[in-house]
Structure 1
Amino acid sequence: MPRRTDARMSRHRDTPATIGAMPKIVDHEQRRADIISGLLRVVARDGIDAATTRALAKELGVATGSLWHYFSNFDTLVAEATARVIDLVSTRIAERTTNVRGMAKFDAIMTELLPLDDVTRNEAVIIVNLWGRLSTRTVYFEWVGTIETWWEDLRAAMCEAVEDGELVPETPVEELVQVFAAITHGQQVAHAAIPETPPEAHEAIVRTVLAPWRA
């Protein structure tokens, strides 16, 4: 008589596709990077209020529960996304200011900080949205020190400009650094609120502040 095949056994028999198969390996860091990128896209497009767990999962095409295998909570994710943007800005500043000094260095720094092109305008929207969530949380202070390096670079550039005769000796460098820091943050907020503001308007403010101190 023909032997009966146990259905339960047949479902678990090895096949050419399963013999020697290895478990799927997930690149943990790449997955974290993908989630951060997804959050940045949602925030830039729809704002922080729309960046819910459900919206982020939909953006990435994954189940909502899978997100929290990589981040302990939403604030941690937001903080790391903010750090990602700050690192990108810092990297570009470092690249643009290599082998330049004085006002050329100053201009290179401000070009990366003001919302002047598609990249920096997009970053302005993201940063304003993310800061609004993080500013009252302890995690905010973990990366805010990185931003101070931007103002240190700006200070160094202006001191070089004084030394090179591009700015007058009486230039109040310390005070102007604080002014330009405020202008940078203010113009990022202005762009987030009024995105149709042309880049020339942001640049004009910087030129106006510097005008009395140019040699």
Structure 2
Amino acid sequence: MPKIVDPEERRASVAAAVWRVVRRSGLDGVSVRTVAAEAGLSPGSLRHYFATQAEVLAFAMQLVLDRVRARVEAVEPDPDTATAVRRVIEELLPLDAERRAEAEVWLAFTTRAQVDPALRALRDASYDALESVCGQLTDALLPDHPGREAEVERLYALIDGLVLHAVMRPDRATPALMRAVVDRHLTELTR
């Protein structure tokens, strides 16, 4: 009896294989052959789930977005606004191995987005979503703040910068340092 394979589960496992190849060899190391081998599939089997390499890359990039969005949406409310805001921000930062892998893959994809229109659309949508989250967090902390736009942009830059630093210099941008920077920022905002 043939084994029944859940197509969405298989697509997710292929995306995870893409992530591993990207982290090991960069996006230049991603090909149908390398991803298929990493996923334990034949290239022909991989094409059953993804018609093109571009489709594989877009799906793998979308998976990063979906995972981050799910974590942010799962943050439990807290009566202390600053605590709730801090928890959301922490879900956006690479504070553990899983989130570090996402950030490394994300950075590779955003670099490729400069020349790939499909990835560029995903990158732009994700940055718009991050800006929206920063707006919501700023509004929660500083309702009706006259400098709202600048504060949203400052929080956006803080998160984006910490992610970039953590990927580029993980020895310096440690989870403890990132948490301390976020705590200081939130303390200054709420004085």
Normalised to the residue count of structure 2, the TM-score between the two structures is 0.82
User: Are the aligned partners of 2:23 and 2:105 in contact in 1 as well (CA < 8 Å)?
Assistant: yes
What corresponds to 1:183 in structure 2? 158
Letter in 2 for 1:77: V
List aligned pairs for 1:193-212, cutoff 5 A. Answer: 193-197=168-172, 198-212=174-188
Q: Which protein has the bigger helix share?
A: 2
Percent identity over the alignment is: 27
Task: Give 1:211 shift.
Answer: 4.5
Letter in 2 for 1:131: T
Give secondary structure in 2 for the equivalent of 1:68.
helix
Task: Give 1:153 shift.
Answer: 3.0
* CA distance in structure 2 between the partners assigned to 1:200 and 1:24 by the alignment: 46
What corresponds to 1:131 in structure 2? 110
What CA deviation, in whole Å up to 9, does each residue of 1:143-172 have, x standing for no partner? 632443333233223222235xxxxx7573
Note closer, same or farther for the CA distance 1:69–1:56 as it changes in structure 2 (3 Å cut). Answer: same
Task: Give 1:71 shift.
Answer: 1.5
Between stretches 93-102 and 77-86, larger displacement belongs to 93-102
User: Are the aligned partners of 1:89 and 1:112 in contact in 2 as well (CA < 8 Å)?
Assistant: yes
Task: Give 1:128 shift.
Answer: 0.6
Task: Give 1:24 shift.
Answer: 5.6
What corresponds to 2:137 in structure 1? 157
User: Are the aligned partners of 1:57 and 1:67 in contact in 2 as well (CA < 8 Å)?
Assistant: yes
Normalised to the residue count of structure 1, the TM-score between the two structures is 0.74
Note closer, same or farther for the CA distance 1:127–1:146 as it changes in structure 2 (3 Å cut). Answer: closer
Note closer, same or farther for the CA distance 1:33–1:212 as it changes in structure 2 (3 Å cut). Answer: closer
List aligned pairs for 1:1-215, cutoff 5 A. Answer: 25-98=4-77, 102-139=81-118, 140-142=120-122, 144-163=124-143, 172-197=147-172, 198-215=174-191
Letter in 1 for 2:69: S
* CA distance in structure 1 between the partners assigned to 2:50 and 2:80 by the alignment: 41
* CA distance in structure 2 between the partners assigned to 1:200 and 1:171 by the alignment: 32
Letter in 2 for 1:55: T
Give secondary structure in 1 for the equivalent of 2:115.
coil
Task: Give 1:111 shift.
Answer: 0.1
Task: Give 1:90 shift.
Answer: 0.6
Task: Give 1:119 shift.
Answer: 2.0
User: Which structure: larger Rg?
Assistant: 1
* CA distance in structure 2 between the partners assigned to 1:189 and 1:100 by the alignment: 31
Task: Give 1:57 shift.
Answer: 1.8
Note closer, same or farther for the CA distance 1:132–1:181 as it changes in structure 2 (3 Å cut). Answer: same
Where does the alignment leave 5 or more consecutive residues of structure 2 unmatched?
A: none
Give secondary structure in 1 for the equivalent of 2:49.
coil
Letter in 2 for 1:54: R
Letter in 1 for 2:46: L
User: Are the aligned partners of 2:36 and 2:43 in contact in 1 as well (CA < 8 Å)?
Assistant: yes
Count of aligned pairs between the two proteins: 189
